[in-house]
């Protein structure tokens, strides 16, 4: 399959491939839209089964970032980067320097930040070679640094909104939440859920992550192959996407799905499948926008953690509006969220044209 007829290429503005022989860097940067501003989205470092899988991932993720930034009301378009991880090119300052130069070559059309497989230290190395980066360490109380806790906060608030809608409860106290993936975001989310009185079922393919969360919180570990089907009130996917499929959805017991993972739905039909089973789905790019909200405040400067928190507090209201529309129209929540995002993008594009 070629790039231009790739199923996920639709509406992308640009796709850039980068290699650097001395460091072994292989990276793809996808720019889906700059209608609302420069394309912003994290950089993911992952071991893919094939280059084709990496391409599919970055295309889906970049489009999701366009929608996420639009619904969150941020002055950003959508983009994403993936670095193909390989034993021949392990993490190094030199590798991230090469990636930083790649980002810089786009002259601000793409702004990068932390995602799966990356850390604040990695972003610091990238930031030494480009100004188009966010997620750098902060020490004065201003916005910035690791976006994971902010993503977790938004997801937690979104879970509260979802359980109120579907279960009629004002909090997660006494509920069981199954968290798939307890790395960066999942780890912080578990702490928030525990503090609010929820019982936790957790799964992760990384044993170190499981050991860390088990040492800090009372959790029950579930096999990664079974966590989606756990006997829980809420399922919170916080690992990779493409998990809600025609094969998995019929076996899910949770009444609410609300988590941090991007692209949770395998296809557009899967949102309808969840709706038919009366499972309330919180659209991923709506509920997990806390991290990019923090990134936006940091990148544009003159902001504070209090302002970041204030903007993240708007996430439950957006979800409630989508839930209400779903109840009124009978349409799936993901379809309604997509419609909202496209309307905002179109309106923003027209405003940019008018001011040009």
Q: What 3-state DSSP class applies to 121? A: helix
CATH code that applies to domain 148-288+316-342? 3.40.50.720
Q: Using DSSP, state whether 155 is helix, strand or coil.
A: helix
Domain ranges of the chain: 14-61+77-127, 148-288+316-342
**Given this chain, do its domains 14-61+77-127 and 148-288+316-342 carry the same CATH topology?**
yes
Reading the chain (356 residues) residue by residue, the pLDDT tens digits are: 577 778 788 889 999 999 999 999 999 999 999 999 999 999 999 999 999 999 999 999 999 999 999 999 999 999 999 999 988 889 999 999 999 999 999 999 999 999 999 998 999 999 999 999 998 877 666 667 788 999 999 999 999 999 999 999 999 999 999 999 999 999 999 999 999 999 999 999 999 999 999 999 999 999 999 999 999 999 999 998 999 999 999 999 999 999 999 999 999 899 999 999 999 999 999 999 999 999 999 998 877 889 999 999 999 999 999 999 999 999 999 999 999 999 999 987 555 544 44
| C-alpha span between 223 and 26 (Å, rounded) | 33
- Report the first-to-last Cα separation within the chain, whole angstroms: 37
pTM value is: 0.92
Q: Which of 80, 164, 169, 276 is catalytic?
A: 80
Which residues, at least 6 apart from 246, have a Cβ–Cβ distance to it below 8 Å? 266, 267, 269, 270, 273
Task: Check if the beta carbon of residue 258 is closer than 8 Å to that of residue 236.
Answer: yes
Alpha carbons 118 and 8: distance in angstroms, whole number: 24
The 3-state DSSP class for residue 140 equals coil
Q: Which one is the CATH code of 14-61+77-127: 3.30.43.10, 3.30.70.870, 3.40.50.10860, 3.40.50.2300?
A: 3.40.50.10860
Residue 265 DSSP one-character state: B
| Pair 112, 42: CB distance under 8 Å | yes
Q: Residue 191 and residue 326: Cα distance in Å, rounded?
A: 31
Annotation marks residue 80 as catalytic: yes
- Picking from 186, 179, 270, 193, the residue whose alpha carbon sits closest to that of residue 228 is 179
């Amino acid at each position: 399959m070629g790039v231009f007829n790739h199923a996920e290429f639709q509406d992308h503005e640009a796709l850039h491939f980068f290699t650097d022989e001395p460091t072994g860097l292989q990276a793809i940067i996808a720019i889906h839209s700059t209608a609302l501003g420069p394309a912003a989205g994290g950089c993911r470092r992952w071991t893919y089964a094939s280059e084709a899988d990496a391409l599919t991932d970055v295309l889906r993720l970049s489009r999701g970032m366009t929608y996420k930034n639009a619904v969150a009301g941020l002055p950003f378009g959508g983009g994403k980067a993936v670095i193909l991880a390989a034993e021949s090119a392990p993490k190094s300052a030199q590798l991230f320097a090469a990636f930083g130069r790649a980002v810089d070559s786009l002259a601000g059309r793409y702004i990068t930040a932390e995602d799966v497989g990356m850390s604040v230290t990695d972003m610091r190395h990238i930031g030494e070679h480009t100004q188009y980066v966010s997620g750098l360490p902060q020490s004065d109380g201003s916005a910035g640094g690791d976006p994971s806790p902010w993503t977790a906060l938004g997801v937690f608030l979104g879970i509260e909104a979802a359980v109120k809608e579907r279960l009629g409860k004002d909090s997660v106290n006494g509920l069981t939440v199954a968290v798939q993936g307890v790395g960066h975001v999942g780890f912080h989310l578990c702490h928030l859920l525990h503090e609010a009185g929820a019982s936790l079922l957790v799964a992760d393919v990384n044993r170190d992550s499981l050991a860390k969360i088990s040492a800090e919180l009372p959790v029950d570990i579930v096999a990664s192959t079974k966590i989606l089907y756990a006997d829980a009130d809420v399922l919170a996917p916080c690992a990779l996407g493409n998990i809600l499929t025609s094969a998995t959805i019929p076996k899910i017991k949770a009444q609410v799905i609300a988590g941090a993972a991007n692209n949770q739905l395998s296809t557009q039909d899967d949102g309808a499948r969840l709706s038919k089973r009366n499972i309330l789905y919180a659209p991923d790019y709506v509920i997990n926008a806390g991290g990019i909200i923090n990134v936006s405040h940091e990148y544009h400067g003159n902001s504070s953690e209090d302002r970041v928190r204030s903007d993240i507090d708007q996430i439950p209201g957006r979800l409630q509006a989508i839930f209400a529309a779903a109840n009124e129209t009978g349409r799936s929540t993901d379809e309604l969220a997509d419609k909202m995002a496209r309307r905002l993008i179109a309106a923003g594009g027209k405003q940019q044209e008018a001011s040009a």
